[in-house]
Amino acid sequence: MSIRLSVLSLFLRLVEKPRLARLKDPLEARAMFEATAARFFRTPEDANRIETRIAGPAGPIPCDWMSRGRPDRRAVILYLHGGAYVMGSRATHRHVAAVLAGHARARVLLPEYRLAPETRWPGAVEDALACYRDLLETGYEPGRIALAGDSAGGGLAFATLIAAREAGLPDPACIAAFSPWLDLTLSQRSLRRNARSDPMLPASRIEETRDFYVSAAEAGAPTASPLFAEIPSPPPALIQASRIELLEDEAGAMAEKLRAAGGDVRLDWFARAPHAWHIFCGFAPEADGALARAGTFIGERIVRD
């Protein structure tokens, strides 16, 4: 564990985790995340960004196209940001998208899907599916599209796959999910086992946060909790997670499920990283290394010279 990640984890444990535990207003949490991102997260200077809008079920979906260097313009990653479905945006995740784009030699489409509590499940799924459908209709081959995301966005990547199949759309080339939130029924043991070890997420608030997005009665639906969906012959998947985070068991259970269904799955465990540590790329070497591995995984599956 690097010194930088050790210092970061201590800061999260002593400052951010208690602050998240005190926050009760999701809009306040959203504003705090945006302010933190503006202050600390830096998009690489050589990154390229183009704003666009995609037609969605409730109106235009604001999106960023992110890239670095000379990407294969036929290859694209649909990246779905994290934030527990109540926060996060293009601004909080542009740096992650740009770094991943560079490693994969692809362009990244980063949409700003609708958030709870203003829009509850399945609004986020509908927006992500609209973006995936738009890529296909624009002319991208499904074998050159990857789905990726962190935390809630990682779960949303799998939910998008499920929704796409339900809509009769072809599978993407692969999925990369970082600390994915896959079980909104909150039935995994690591939610309790890792309540103290997780340096960032307060276990005491996870049920309340879930309820902003989806009710307990609906939480077991396939596009709310992809862990319980039937996904036969899944596309190749990379799942990266930490051994000390609340969502540890969800990552392991999804990897087992996909393998049992015939999938090619790579499960990368990181010993003591905080939840969704990828957002600290440019500061923590563990974040840079994880995104480099993910970019290589994606690039090998969607970029063909």
pLDDT value for 92? 98
**Domains of the chain and any CATH numbers:** 3-302 (3.40.50.1820)
Contact 144, 132 (CB under 8 A): no
pLDDT value for 303? 74
Annotated catalytic residue 151: yes
| 151, 179, 190, 242: the active-site residue | 151
Tell me the DSSP string of 211-262: HHHS-TTTTTSTTT-GGGS--SSPPPEEEEEETTSTTHHHHHHHHHHHHHTT
Residues in the chain: 305
CA–CA dist 103, 98 (Å, integer): 9
Tell me the DSSP string of 99-167: HHHHHHTSEEEEE----TTTS-TTHHHHHHHHHHHHHHHHT--GGGEEEEEETHHHHHHHHHHHHHHHT
Output the tens digit of pLDDT for each of the chain's 305 residues: 899 999 999 999 999 999 999 998 999 999 999 999 999 999 999 999 999 999 999 999 999 999 999 999 999 999 999 999 999 999 999 999 999 999 999 999 999 999 999 999 999 999 999 999 999 999 999 999 999 999 999 999 999 999 999 999 999 999 999 999 999 999 999 999 999 999 999 999 999 999 999 999 999 999 999 999 999 999 999 999 999 999 999 999 999 999 999 999 999 999 999 999 999 999 999 999 999 999 999 999 997 65
pLDDT value for 131? 98
| 16, 245, 248, 250: the active-site residue | 245
pLDDT value for 227? 98
- Residue 94 carries which side chain, given as an amino acid letter? R
Annotated catalytic residue 45: no
Residues 6 or more apart from 179 whose CB is under 8 A from it?
82, 150, 151, 154, 240, 241, 242, 245, 247, 251, 275, 276, 277, 278
Predicted TM-score (pTM) of the model is 0.97
| 190, 275, 278, 286: the active-site residue | 275
Annotated catalytic residue 81: no
Neighbours of 219 (CB within 10 A): 19
